[in-house]
Structure 1
Amino acid sequence: MKSLIKTFTSLPTAGLLAACLLSAAPAHADEGSKIAFVSSERILREATPAKTAQSKIEAEFSKRDKDLQDQATRLKNMADKLDKDSAVISESERVKRQRELSDLDKDFQRKQREFREDLNQRRNEELAIVLERSTKAIKQIAEAEKYDMVFQEGGVYVSPRIDITDKVLKILNK
């Protein structure tokens, strides 16, 4: 639950793409072309909407997470008790407890799988909202400051001079 919002994978070919696009630019292109970069990872980690989404998801799923943790503890205790008692209980009682333990474990595994699926679905929904707002902020900055191209992630090296992530965060955190 600590790290509910994970970052998207970066695009390792973005730097190559940028080089290709820049080299394919017409010879009469303006020497003053403006290029910028935005760190999606920082946006998803530092932006207020991302933090709000993370808190919202944690609150929404905390009860189910606690219930699963409690059920896991009960299962472990039952398994320990069965191991401890197996020498002194009858064969039929041992088989009965093993079957009960197995059924409870299957139920636990199903609930755990459903929890992860529901959590991932909600996280993706919230991330989509944050990324949509981020894209609007990037477009707003690009148009206002007349950037010709804005990259997100990727590249081997990005100069801090062209990194506009702080500007995007400022808009998102308003």
Structure 2
Amino acid sequence: MKSMKTFLAVVGLALATQSVAADFKLGYVKIERIYSEATPAIAIQKKLEAEFADRRAELKRMEARGKELQALLAGTTLNGADRKNDERELDSLDRDYRAKVREMAEDFNQRRNEEFATLLDKANRVLKVIAERGQFDLILQDAVYVSPKYDLTDQVLKELDKQ
């Protein structure tokens, strides 16, 4: 008798859930695609590349000088004083290079996060308009798997490109 009640409760719950699910409208957005394919995202990437171009060029010059010093030190033609000076210069250059790489990476990440936070806000506003227009009940971001039939990413990309 108890198992029959449990069975009927489960069947009743399943039928109730089925009727609610028929009216439920779900959507999904792949944020990584927004960050890589949206016109504003591409503009952000170009802006950041230009903003950090001088610092990258300086790092390349430092790297080239370091390789030059390593080649000099690998040869045996240097006397003791010259070798010592080149070793000190290489050590100093290596410390400066590592510090500048770390500093640039931190600055770049901070600027990237600032710029992409603005893009995410814009994408979320666009998504809200799409959700209201399409009468969606729930729109997800960052899921392990979602069927392509729920994917709204292309619609968001089109709307962002219009702005």
Q: State the secondary structure of the residue aligned to 1:31.
A: helix
Q: Percent identity?
A: 41
| Residues 76-155 of structure 1 aligned to structure 2 (within 5 Å) | 76-84=67-75, 87-155=76-144
Q: CA deviation at 1:127?
A: 1.0
- The alignment status of 1:39 with 2:27, answered yes or no, reads no
Q: State the secondary structure of the residue aligned to 2:143.
A: coil
Deviation readout 1:38-77 (Å, 9 max, x if unpaired) = 1111111111111111110011111211111111011111
Provide the residue aligned with 2:43 in structure 1: 52
Q: What is the letter of the counterpart of residue 47 of structure 2?
A: K
| TM superposition outliers: structure 1 runs of 4+ over 4 Å | 25-28
| Residues 18-37 of structure 1 aligned to structure 2 (within 5 Å) | 29=20, 31-37=22-28
Q: CA deviation at 1:28?
A: 6.8
CA distance in 1, matches of 2:115, 2:90: 37
Provide structure 2 residue ranges, at least 5 long, that are not aligned to the other structure: 1-13
Q: What is the letter of the counterpart of residue 63 of structure 1?
A: D
CA distance in 2, matches of 1:155, 1:90: 62
The structure with more radius of gyration: 2
Q: CA deviation at 1:26?
A: 6.8
Distance 1:150 1:96, change over 3 A: same
Provide the residue aligned with 1:173 in structure 2: 161
Deviation readout 1:64-107 (Å, 9 max, x if unpaired) = 111111110111111101221xx233223212221121111111
Which one has the bigger helix percentage?
A: 2
| Aligned residue pairs, count | 148
Q: CA deviation at 1:139?
A: 0.7
CA distance in 2, matches of 1:31, 1:106: 63
What is the TM-score of this pair, normalised by structure 1? 0.78
Provide the residue aligned with 2:61 in structure 1: 70
Q: State the secondary structure of the residue aligned to 1:29.
A: helix
Provide structure 1 residue ranges, at least 5 long, that are not aligned to the other structure: 1-22
